[in-house]
Amino acid sequence: MFDNIKNAKKNKGQVVILTAMFSLVISVLIISVISSPVVSQMKMNKNLFKAKESFYISESGNEDIVYRIKNGQSILGQEDLVFSNGIAQTTVTDLGNGIKEILTVGDVNNRIRKIKTKIQTTSGVSFNYGLFTGQGGIEMENNTRINGSIYSNGSIEGASNVMIAGDVYVAPRPATTTNIKWETNNEDFIFGKYVGSEQRVDTMQSFVTTTSGLRIFKVSLYLKKVGSPANLSVKIVKDKNGVPDKNNVIAEGSLLSSLIGTNYSFMDVGFNSNPEITANQIYWIISDTTRDDTNYFVWGMDNASGYTGGTAKYSTDWTKGSFINIAGDLDFQVWTGDENSLGVLDTVIVGDGVGGVFPAHAHTIKNSQISGDAFAYSFVGGSVGGNIIADNIADCSVVGDADYNTKTNCTVGGQSHSPTTPLSDPSYLVTPVSEANIQAWKDEAVDFGYITAGDLIPINGAIIGPGVIGGDLIIESDKIVKLRGTLYVEGNIIVNGNAGINLGISYGTTGSGAIISDGWVNLYNNVKINNPRTGSGHLMLLSTARCDKYYGFVNCNSEQSAINLENNVQSDILVAPYGIIELSNNISVVALVGDQLNLKNNIVLNYEQGLTNMNFSSGPSGSWGIESWREVE
């Protein structure tokens, strides 16, 4: 009986084991059935994630090349952009007729995405900063405010309760005279194409200075163009054994083709840095372009080789050697500055007062409150709501982190790091409207002849332009007129008392118009210029009056300015490249470009930002615009 009981227990144990194994098998099968789509979905999600990564890498590589072409930077036929998780390989193909095709292949673990973009030369002037001032900078009186970002080639001087609700960039101001130059012009030097058997692509001129402690802020090249060539990449390069050293590029900038005219003028070029140059050392100015036998450049030269400080050469590709001497010197100007030229932001609140956060960039920031990050060589007195990077900070409070070399009487809420390397100062930015652009608009108006030899005082509802006004343009109170074409006013422009100027139907909904004045411009008392806008087109009022401390007070209005707006004026684009723009009492503009801006007490200036590619009916052309963009795989 004992054996029977023992066998029964043994059998029961086997049944339990078999039941457990059966249950385990069933469970595995059920889990397998349930998990299979989950695993499949996880694999699918991983592939989708990698594919998205590949797309973003492809997009980044494509945008990088588009940016470099638009800004005249050198590129090869194929460019690779390597990321931590993949690579973007971009091929650039010249399709002719001013069109380039850019194909980028993004690859992340063999997940391929392709983006193709076509760009072509287009008409237009770009106002990349809604408010831009030249070497005169900005002077803001008590209780004034600017709503929008600013780029200034001169210092910004504030006062009590002065506020800028936007990003602030203060670049150094170049000297107003230079002795590093050669300006004798008696022959043309064509480059960017075949000339006979010579393939003249990259062209260069060397120079020296005898003064130490100077920094290069810009150069000016005596140029004109034929057709619509691509933008120029311009570099400052050190010398090595009498030729440019490709491994010693100390500054690089671009010259937009749209700024260059068909007649000679000195064209300014700013750079990505402001390098210090050494006395009696040879440097090279290099104009780097691509060959196009239909669209090319002409550089004015002196065939007598009168410049003793350097020589001129050309090459098919300056980075690969094979330099050919030019029998003459190319015309140029090098504009420098010293420590006294560096940009200052003084007594300004950078913020909007309601929680907005904006950064500030300047060589020296003092007595100012910065709501966002601050980037400077010296920060003295004030506060920073974000982080700061500077060589020295003093008498300040910083909410975030602080990177510095010396600190005096400053409190830091975040982490402190020392030593550090301050960022470079903002670079000199070329005025977005060139002398060649202005002359092209004038020429367009001149082609239509004189509307009147004296003053023009149009009636209400009149249509004015295109053509030339030999005297003043006077729009009297309550008169609204329309512009039909480019207008050149040899005198002054006065618009008063509820009067206005709008674009006519000839511009459609996208075209922009220009009125150019050799005199000053006064707008006051409820004047509206192209307001309200009915399309995307703009109306620019431009004064060539030389009226500030750098160009001289030659042709000014009673306020000692080139353009003056007073009392509830709503204007479109205002440009005074050689003079002061003065504003007082409730002013709104779309974009503003002046050598200097003065804001009177208690004014609030509102403006739109970042207007690019303003397509005027005539004048400048030749910048790159996107024709098409699409994913092809």
Domain boundaries, the chain: 2-123, 154-173+343-417, 181-339, 431-619
CB 176 within 8 A of CB 317: no
In the structure, what pLDDT confidence band is assigned to residue 550 with cuts at 50, 70 and 90?
Answer: confident
Q: What is the DSSP secondary-structure string of 35-97?
A: HHHHHHHHHHHHHHHHHHHHHHHHHHHHHHHHHHHHTT----SEEEEE-SS-EEEEEEEEEET
In the chain, the percentage of residues whose pLDDT exceeds 70 is 83
- Give Rg (Cα) of the chain: 32
- pLDDT at residue 126 tops 80: no
- At 413, phi and psi to the nearest 5? -75, -30
In the chain, the percentage of residues whose pLDDT exceeds 90 is 62
Give the residue-averaged pLDDT of 376-384. Answer: 97
Give the residue-averaged pLDDT of 243-258. Answer: 93
Q: Hey, which CATH number is domain 181-339, 3.40.390, 2.60.120, 3.20.20, 3.10.590? A: 2.60.120
Neighbours of 515 (CB within 10 A): 24
User: Where do we find the tokens 């397998």?
Assistant: 32
Give the residue-averaged pLDDT of 475-497. Answer: 97
- pLDDT at residue 34 tops 70: no
Instruction: Indicate the pTM of the whole model.
Output: 0.76
* Inter-CA distances, 276 with 31, 217, 403, 426, Å: 71, 9, 24, 15
- Range with lowest mean pLDDT among 78-92, 341-355, 518-532: 78-92
Q: Note the pLDDT of residue 620.
A: 39
Q: Note the pLDDT of residue 73.
A: 54
- Range with lowest mean pLDDT among 283-287, 404-408, 588-592, 593-597: 588-592
In the structure, what pLDDT confidence band is assigned to residue 266 with cuts at 50, 70 and 90?
Answer: very high
Q: Note the pLDDT of residue 5.
A: 47
Q: Over the chain, what is the mean pLDDT?
A: 87
In the structure, what pLDDT confidence band is assigned to residue 623 with cuts at 50, 70 and 90?
Answer: very low
- pLDDT at residue 127 tops 80: no
Greatest mean pLDDT range, 163-177, 378-392, 527-541: 378-392
Give the three-class secondary structure for 553. Answer: strand
Contacts of 24 by beta carbon, 8 Å cutoff, 6+ apart: none
Which of the pair, 424 or 264, is modelled with greater confidence? 264
- pLDDT at residue 68 tops 70: no
Give the three-class secondary structure for 5. Answer: helix
- Range with lowest mean pLDDT among 62-76, 95-109, 159-173, 568-582: 62-76
Q: Note the pLDDT of residue 128.
A: 63
What is the number of helices (H) and of strands (E) in the chain? 2, 60
* Inter-CA distances, 187 with 262, 298, 329, 378, 425, Å: 16, 10, 10, 47, 38
Neighbours of 633 (CB within 10 A): 11
Q: Looking only at Cα atoms, what is the longest distance across the chain?
A: 138
In the structure, what pLDDT confidence band is assigned to residue 41 with cuts at 50, 70 and 90?
Answer: low
Six-digit token string for 491: 């005198």
Q: Note the pLDDT of residue 54.
A: 76
CA-based angle 402:405:406, to the nearest 5?
90
Peptide bond into 466 cis (omega under 30): yes
Q: What is the DSSP secondary-structure string of 145-200?
A: EEES-EEESS-EE--TT-EEES-EEEPPPPPS--SSEE----EEEEESEEETTEEE
Q: Note the pLDDT of residue 429.
A: 87
CB 556 within 8 A of CB 545: yes
Contacts of 506 by beta carbon, 8 Å cutoff, 6+ apart: 484, 485, 617
Which of the pair, 246 or 34, is modelled with greater confidence? 246
In the structure, what pLDDT confidence band is assigned to residue 621 with cuts at 50, 70 and 90?
Answer: very low
Q: What phi-psi label fits residue 381: left (phi over 0), alpha (psi between -120 and 50 degrees) or beta? A: left
Which of the pair, 344 or 106, is modelled with greater confidence? 344
Beta bridge partners of 631: 115
Which of the pair, 448 or 103, is modelled with greater confidence? 448
CB 590 within 8 A of CB 559: no
Contacts of 341 by beta carbon, 8 Å cutoff, 6+ apart: 172, 173, 174, 175, 215, 217
CB 114 within 8 A of CB 104: yes
Give the residue-averaged pLDDT of 27-34. Answer: 61
Type of residue found at 100? K
- Range with lowest mean pLDDT among 33-42, 247-256, 526-535: 33-42
